[in-house]
């Protein structure tokens, strides 16, 4: 048994003051008042700060110098997990972007195996190739293609844990979107030039999310609301948001949070290899990408993912956008867990939930991380 005291406890929705968190094995046993805490086991005074659920990031392309597309293996996923775990991420989806069919197949197989082997690996996020060439971003156009029935078969057949598929109606008919959703795939609209009406049809067919709101999608105008407008108007859709100050204007971030609330925004890092301690330059499918200031760009200046971690996103939302810490933490924990349909075991601090925790200092630095009740250093020491 471990008993953690001395920090404010954030349970996924609200702060619990003057309390102790009790861990037994891999799970949370109780949140007790400080006076009623168990006196046995390992007692740890955290000395201030905030104890929260571990961050849940549903869009990680890479980190620590590793790119999932370039290393679509269990070992690649393990390296990415280790890099982001140090920044408080205890659950994530390795994300494969548009690439050759061979790479997608390898990524799906690796992700399926990683679910049972890598702590925190929840499944996979397939971002392309079934997107709209008009909103491709840095995705290579030669690999963008319509989704055929055999592609849907392959996705459904390889699903283990949570699977997000980012797609656009330009490449995927509504009946195929419905088939994916009915099979348990989390469909997210993204990289799309759809009208608001087309976006609403995608939502009606079963899509439940939008990938990196504002970026690579049709924008909001007064008589042509686009994907952005349709998303902000629909209370049932969860928005991914890259809160780095580069992918959108601060006022645009605030507008989205005001429209959707903390239950409708699931922060993502959209991290590439430079994030979480990686080098400033990397290759994406033979093209040179680099960190310039706080953003990642291709040589033509196109945004190429992000160089942040989820800790950075929380910090930006709180310090720059002025959003209360409780709301920012909800967007990094419980909301993505709900989106991925794993909020029955992660995303909260409550009895029976997995003891995935991050201890943040008062200035929002990561002081300690636990995954399934094990400290970071214990995990890293395991061969």
* pLDDT tens column, 211-225: 999 999 999 999 999
Q: Categorize the per-residue pLDDT at 294 as very low, low, confident or very high, splitting at 50, 70 and 90.
A: confident
Give residue 380's pLDDT: 84
Least reliable range by pLDDT among 37-46, 94-103, 254-263: 37-46
Q: Check pLDDT > 90 for residue 379.
A: no
Q: Give the mean model confidence (pLDDT) for residues 35-49.
A: 94
Q: Categorize the per-residue pLDDT at 194 as very low, low, confident or very high, splitting at 50, 70 and 90.
A: very high
Q: Is 318 helix (H, G, I), strand (E, B) or coil?
A: helix
Count CB neighbours of 91 within 10 A.
29
Give residue 136's pLDDT: 96
Catalytic residue among 132, 151, 193, 270: 270
Q: Is 44 helix (H, G, I), strand (E, B) or coil?
A: strand
Give residue 243's pLDDT: 97
Count CB neighbours of 325 within 10 A.
18
- Residues whose CB falls within 8 Å of the CB of residue 163, separated by 6 or more in sequence, listed in order: 123, 124, 125, 126, 155, 184, 185, 186
Concatenated DSSP letters for 46-70? --SSEEEEPEEEEEE-EETTEETTT
Q: Check pLDDT > 70 for residue 112.
A: yes
Nearest to 271 by CA among 239, 313, 237: 313
Per the annotation, the verdict on 270 as an active-site residue is yes
Torsion of CA 60, 90, 15, 19, to 10 degrees: -170
Return the percentage of the chain with pLDDT > 90, whole number.
95
**342-373 exposure pattern, b = at least 16 Cβ within 10 A, e = fewer:** bbeebbbbeeebbbbbbbbeeebebbbbbbbb
Superfamily in which the 55-339 domain is placed by CATH: Metal-dependent hydrolases (3.20.20.140)
Q: Check pLDDT > 70 for residue 303.
A: yes
Q: Check pLDDT > 80 for residue 310.
A: yes
Domain spans, the chain: 2-52+348-376, 55-339
Q: Check pLDDT > 90 for residue 189.
A: yes
The average confidence (pLDDT) of the chain is: 97
Q: Check pLDDT > 70 for residue 383.
A: no
Give residue 26's pLDDT: 97
pTM over cut 0.85: yes
Three-state SS sequence of 148-187 = CHHHHHHHHHHCCCEEEEEECCCCCCHHHHHHHHHCCCEE
Distance CA 331, CA 261 (A): 9
Q: Give the mean model confidence (pLDDT) for residues 61-78.
A: 98
> For residue range 252-284, what is the model confidence (pLDDT) as tens digits?
999 999 999 999 999 999 999 999 999 999 999
259: part of which helix (H) or strand (E)? Answer: helix 250-260
Distance CA 45, CA 368 (A): 12
Return the percentage of the chain with pLDDT > 70, whole number.
100
Q: Yes or no: is domain 2-52+348-376 CATH 2.30.40.10? A: yes
């Amino acid at each position: 048994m471990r008993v953690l005291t001395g920090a404010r406890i954030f349970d996924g929705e609200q702060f619990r003051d003057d309390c102790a968190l009790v861990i037994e094995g891999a799970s949370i046993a109780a949140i007790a008042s400080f006076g009623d805490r168990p006196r046995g086991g390992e007692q740890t005074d955290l000395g201030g700060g905030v104890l929260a659920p571990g961050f849940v990031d549903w869009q990680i392309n890479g980190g620590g110098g590793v790119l999932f597309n370039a290393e679509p293996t269990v070992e690649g996923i393990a390296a990415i997990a280790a890099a982001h775990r140090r920044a408080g991420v205890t659950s994530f989806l390795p994300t494969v972007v548009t690439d050759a069919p061979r790479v997608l197949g390898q990524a799906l197989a690796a992700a399926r195996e990683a679910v049972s082997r890598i702590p925190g690996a929840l499944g996979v996020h397939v971002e392309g190739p079934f997107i709209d060439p008009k909103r491709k971003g840095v995705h290579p156009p030669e690999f963008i293609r319509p989704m055929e029935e055999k592609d849907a078969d392959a996705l459904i057949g390889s699903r283990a844990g949570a699977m997000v598929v980012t797609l656009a109606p330009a490449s995927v008919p509504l009946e195929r979107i419905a088939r994916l959703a009915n099979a348990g795939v989390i469909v997210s609209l993204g990289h799309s030039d759809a009208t608001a009406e087309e976006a609403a049809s995608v939502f009606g067919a079963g899509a439940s999310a939008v990938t990196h709101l504002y970026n690579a999608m049709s924008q909001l105008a007064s008589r042509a609301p686009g994907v952005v407008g349709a998303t902000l108007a629909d209370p049932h859709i969860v928005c991914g948001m890259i809160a780095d100050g580069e992918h959108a204007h601060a006022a645009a971030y605030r507008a989205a949070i005001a429209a959707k609330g903390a239950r409708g925004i699931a922060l993502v890092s959209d991290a590439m290899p430079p994030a979480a301690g990686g080098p400033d330059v990397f290759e994406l499918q033979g093209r040179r990408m680099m960190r310039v200031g706080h953003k990642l760009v291709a040589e033509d200046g196109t945004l190429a993912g992000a160089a942040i971690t989820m800790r950075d996103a929380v910090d930006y939302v709180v310090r720059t956008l002025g959003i209360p810490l409780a709301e920012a933490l909800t967007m990094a924990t419980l909301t993505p867990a709900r989106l991925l349909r794993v909020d029955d075991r992660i995303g909260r601090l409550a009895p029976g939930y997995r003891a995935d925790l991050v201890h943040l200092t008062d200035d929002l630095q990561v002081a300690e991380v636990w995954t399934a009740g094990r400290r970071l250093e214990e995990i890293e020491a395991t061969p």
